[in-house]
Amino acid sequence: MREKIIHKSADLFINLGFKSVTMDDIAKEMGISKKTIYVHFPNKTKLVEATTLHMFETISYGIDCICALEKNPIEEIFDIKQFVMEHLKNEKSSPQYQLQKYYPKIFTSLKSKQFEVMQGCVTENLKRGLSQGLYRDNIDVDFISRIYFNGMVNLKDQDLFPLKKFSMNTLMEYYLEYHLRGICTPKGLETLIRLLKTNQN
């Protein structure tokens, strides 16, 4: 039952936001009593914590699987973006923004876990891109991986990027192109332009 509650809560939180969804909403959606939820989670904060950890682990595992394929590093970045967007349902409610606002401790802990995973993944991607002549050989890998993570986190700031003006998918597309154009060699740019054309079609 605990797993079922986490899965349903994750779905509701992603679609409607952490603030909007109540324990009553989850109980009603599942056709169970609120008491049943409280058997497994003493309060909403504990449920939010378990749900965000579950989502993080699911996405991290998927990213690891994509990285294990060792595809062209530029294609890999787009594959990861596609996978994340499918899992976060385009973040219509910007759950991460709500998490930061209403559950700052959980947000900080999650951000630190995300940094660890992304730092490893992006560093590997950059090193492979360098060895294949797709990325410029004068880039600082540690700097680029950190600036990339920082940019990704800030895309979710609704004060900077209101969802009414930019969909999360559009923001990710813009950001990946911006990132890659800054580090690609002419050979890398050929791959990037081909992928951008494919995505537009």
Query: What CA–CA distance (Å, rounded) separates 84 from 90?
Result: 9
pTM (predicted TM-score)? 0.86
Domains in the chain: ranges and CATH: 51-200 (1.10.357.10)
**110-136 pLDDT per residue, tens:** 999 999 988 999 999 999 999 999 999
Chain centre to alpha carbon of residue 42: 28
**What distance separates the 2 farthest-apart alpha carbons in the chain?**
61
Helices 104-131, 95-102: crossing angle, 10 deg rounding:
140
**53-109 pLDDT per residue, tens:** 999 999 999 999 999 998 899 999 999 989 988 887 655 556 777 888 899 999 999
User: Does 20 have pLDDT greater than 90?
Assistant: no
179: amino acid identity, one letter: H
pLDDT of residue 198: 86
* pLDDT, average across residues 19-29: 94
Instruction: List CB contacts of 67: < 8 A, sequence separation 6 or more.
Output: 76, 80, 121, 124, 125
Query: What angle is formed at CA 84 by the lines to CA 62 and CA 82, rounded to 5 degrees?
Result: 100
Chain centre to alpha carbon of residue 3: 21
Cross-strand pairs, 135:
184
184 phi/psi in degrees, rounded to 5: -80, 145
Q: Based on DSSP, count helices (H) and strands (E) in the chain, helices before strands.
A: 10, 0
Tokens of residue 25, six digits: 């909403």
